[in-house]
Amino acid sequence: MTPQDHPNTAGQSAAAAGPAAPRVGILLDAADAHHASMARQLAQELASSFQLSLYATPAQASAAIGQLDLLLDFSPAAPALGRSDEVARKTIRYVSGAAAAAGKSALTGARAVIVDGHASAARHAATFPQIVALERGVDCRVYRVAADRHGPLRFGWVGDARQHAVNLNQLLIPAMRGDVTISVMDAQASPQQLADFYNIIDVLLILSEQELGAQTMPEALACGVFALDASGAGLPACVSGHDGGHVGGLSIDASAPALRAAMLWCVDNGSLVRQRGAQNAHAMALHGSWPVVAPRWGRFLQEEFTLATAGRTRSAPPCDLLLLDDIYPLLLSAFRITEYNAYLSHFPTAAVHSTGKSFSIVKETRSFDAVRTAYEARYPAYAGRVTRYDPKWLPDARLAYLLFINNAYDFCEVLEASNTPFVFCLYPGGGFAIDGAESDRKLRRVFASPCFRKVLCTQKISYDYLLRKGLCAPEQMEFIYGGVLPTRVPSSTAKRRYKENKARFDICFVASKYSPRGVDKGYDLFIAAAKMLCARHDDIFFHVVGNFDASDIDVAELAGRLTFHGLLSTDELSHFFRDMEIMLSPNRAFILSPGSFDGFPTGAGAEAGINEVALFTSDPLHLSPFVDGEDIVIIDTNADSIVAAVERYYAAPDQLYRLAARTAQSYAAAFHPDAQIGPRLRLLEQQLALLPGAA
């Protein structure tokens, strides 16, 4: 075709568009035959709806820009410097592979950017409205199942071995271990060569998103291939398992052990893998061919033409507050869910970007996407506002907020790179330790940042420590006692009481395990006290909530009297506490590391108290603002004193329940949203008001 040929001159049967149809130029790339082929197929399908012209070079397209309404750019390379404002206003880029993975720099020089619906960039469309997720079509005349598959399962990889040598050496070769064979094909092979290759393999390995060029995953699926994807992208919608459909591949961690385990699973489940591959081919033929997909592109181009005609572009209001985290949106982290949800509710443009790297601490094995799906099902009002962290796709925010010194330290560099001011909350834990050398190093780094604005301390010992060590200027410090707790969820059953409507006296321990035997949380003391109490009383029963089990400490003596409940959600905890008389929390300071300590009370202890469970807790650092014997029971960290304290109230349950009622009242006042969320919102509003652009 000549640079300005209309597609219909190439022999298409579609009727030509009328003179009133939008004028759309399509820029090919002579260096990438696959992108060019894709562009021509799309042009064939849209020829009856648009006046189309094809251009071989950016210079030719720029010269004709005055006669075009839109320019659809299929060249994989970034836009050339020096393009005019008019070209940028009219350009829509399609990017895949390395270009799509490059981050928000891919958005420069274009009014909109189209990415494959399964690309990681598609997840950022809510933050960057310029991103438009559209699945590309497949030429099913070329990419189709050519023959039945028999014999041993075969694995394949497509790409440039020199360009992707790091992934091959760090992931693929170690995963093979000499007993798995991988067939390799150059990504620049012809469509027919690629189709032939896909038909002789059963499983396609995708090691990075840079490999997802214009002829990779959808085309392989159309040929009946099963995907092993370590790229962090996803599967096309029609084979992703959504809406009750089948799952046409596995998403795995980008590590050699994970890749090997997935390959061995495929070998062990060869029949299922080939069955899923056949389903992939069927699904792509039904839902992924160009005649099916092209109308969606056409509707988008019509919408973009309307916007362009009105002088408008896709845009979103600036992000006022960027929330960065390492475990959100895991529902088990109740205080984080409550606090960050409050900010999402208060600031309409706020967004959360989370690494999810701390899922493993609480033995969470689901993917980030699965955790987010569960969160959005529970909190649909915030759907689309939580994103997996990618430094290349951070929005330009006016202010950032973080929890814990570890997060403030980990994200400090990227916040400085974008010149984003930040506030962080210095909760106990999360890397903070009194007189800890590593903790002090991180604090000094964060406080020295030109982007640091305020630190919020939740324990007086933390506030005083920063002042004593001269780590932070007093005017950059705030103190708000305690922490954010979930709003109490009324239980479906009333509180049950010993000797009133139940015959058992129930004592619980609620904590996560961070050390062997849970010594920092006092799990060893809980078990020791339980054994003593069981020997003396037949109607006292014990419960453990958290990631503990019978292997941590020998509990054979407690058979039939001790129950492990695992990890419970906030709603489940609220119901669980209906049957509890006492929560024991004999935690110790300075165990996990020198200077490390828990806040007072622990989050679980505060939740127990709000739910009218008497809290028996140690206070090794004298942090409690509550009255011993009225709001709380302070215990020593030895089993004998714990047993004595329990037996005193075991013999006087009415006194215990009066104390539990006062505990609930005191905690409700201290941890009420007005006492916790309100001051935090005012702090953030004050900081936003000091920034340029404040109303």
* Higher-pLDDT residue of 211, 247: 247
* DSSP alpha helix (H) spans, 578-694: 603-610, 639-650, 653-670, 673-689
Q: How far apart are CA 15 and CA 170, in angstroms?
A: 52
Q: Over the stretch 115-157, which tens digit does the pLDDT of each residue have? A: 998 888 888 888 899 999 999 899 999 999 998 999 999 999 9
Q: How far apart are CA 47 and CA 431, in angstroms?
A: 60
Model confidence at 310: pLDDT above 60: yes
Strand partners, 426: 457
366 has a pLDDT exceeding 90:
no
CB under 8 Å to 166, separation ≥6 — which residues? none
Q: Write out 127-166 in H/E/C secondary structure.
A: CCCCEEECCCCECCCCCCCCCCCCCCCCEEEECCCCCCHH
Rounded Cα gap, residues 502 and 416, in angstroms? 58
Written as one letter, the residue type at 578 is: R
Residues belonging to the chain: 695
Between the ranges 310-324, 357-371, 398-412, where is the mean pLDDT highest?
Answer: 398-412
Q: What is the mean pLDDT of residues 631-639?
A: 94
pLDDT of residue 585: 95
- CA 145/CA 262 separation, integer angstroms: 24
The predicted structure's pLDDT at residue 209: 83
CB 22 within 8 A of CB 302: yes
CB 249 within 8 A of CB 227: yes
Q: Record the pTM.
A: 0.79
**What pLDDT, on a 0 to 100 scale, did the predictor assign at position 76?**
64
593 pLDDT band (50/70/90 cuts)? confident
Task: Give the per-residue pLDDT at 1.
Answer: 37
Nearest alpha carbon to residue 56 among 2, 94, 110, 114: 2
- Please report the domains of the chain, with CATH numbers, ordered by start residue: 7-133 (3.40.50), 155-288 (3.40.50.2000), 319-479 (3.40.50.11930), 505-670 (3.40.50.2000)
The total of other beta-carbon atoms located within 10 Å of residue 151's CB is 7
Cis bond leading into 329, ω under 30°? yes
pLDDT of the residue at 178: 81
**Mean pLDDT of all residues belonging to the chain:** 89
pLDDT tier for residue 2 given thresholds of 50, 70 and 90: very low
Question: Is the predicted pLDDT of residue 404 greater than 80, yes or no?
Answer: yes
Query: What beta strand segments (E) does 285-332 contain?
Result: 319-325
Q: Provide, rounded to the nearest whole percent, the portion of the chain with pLDDT above 90.
A: 63
Radius of gyration (C-alpha) of the chain in whole angstroms: 30
Q: Which residues contact 574 (CB under 8 A, 6 or more apart)?
A: 488, 489, 490, 491, 607, 611
pLDDT above 60: residue 491: no
Query: What backbone torsions phi and psi does residue 453 show, to the nearest 5 degrees?
Result: -120, -50
CA proximity to 74, closest of 111, 115, 135: 115
pLDDT band at 6 (very low <50, low <70, confident <90, very high): very low
Question: What percent of the chain has pLDDT above 70?
Answer: 95
pLDDT mean over 229-247:
82
Q: What is the pLDDT of residues 425-473, one digit of tens each?
A: 999 989 999 999 999 999 999 999 999 999 999 999 999 999 999 999 9
The SS3 call for residue 23 is: strand
DSSP per position, 639-671? HHHHHHHHHHHHT-HHHHHHHHHHHHHHHHHHS
Which among 394, 458, 386, 421 has a CA at the least distance from the CA of 623? 458
Beta bridge partners of 119: none
Sheet order of strands, 70-73 included: 51-55, 23-27, 70-73, 91-95, 112-115, 131-133
* Residue 242 tokens, joined: 């959504």
What's the whole-number mean pLDDT along residues 613-622? 92
pLDDT level of residue 369 (50, 70, 90 thresholds): confident
pLDDT of residue 648 exceeding 90, the answer is yes
Highest mean pLDDT among 240-244, 375-379, 484-488 belongs to 375-379
**Three-state secondary-structure class, residue 565:** strand
| Residue 108: band (very low, low, confident or very high) from pLDDT cuts 50, 70, 90 | confident
Relative to beta strand 452-457, strand 70-73 is: unpaired
Q: How confident is the model at residue 295 (pLDDT cuts 50, 70, 90)?
A: very high
Q: How many CA atoms lie within 13 A of 307 on its CB side?
A: 18
What is the pLDDT, as a whole number, of residue 3?
A: 39
pLDDT of 516 > 80? The answer is: yes
Q: What is the mean pLDDT of residues 575-599?
A: 89
Residue 7 reports pLDDT greater than 80: no
Q: How far apart are CA 317 and CA 390, in angstroms?
A: 21
Tokens of 439: 């903790």
Residues in contact with 383: Cβ distance below 8 Å, sequence separation at least 6, in sequence order: 376
Q: What is the pLDDT of residue 13?
A: 34
Q: Which of 11-25, 203-217, 529-543, 590-604 has the highest mean pLDDT?
A: 529-543
Quote the CA–CA distance of 562 and 297 in Å, as a whole number.
61
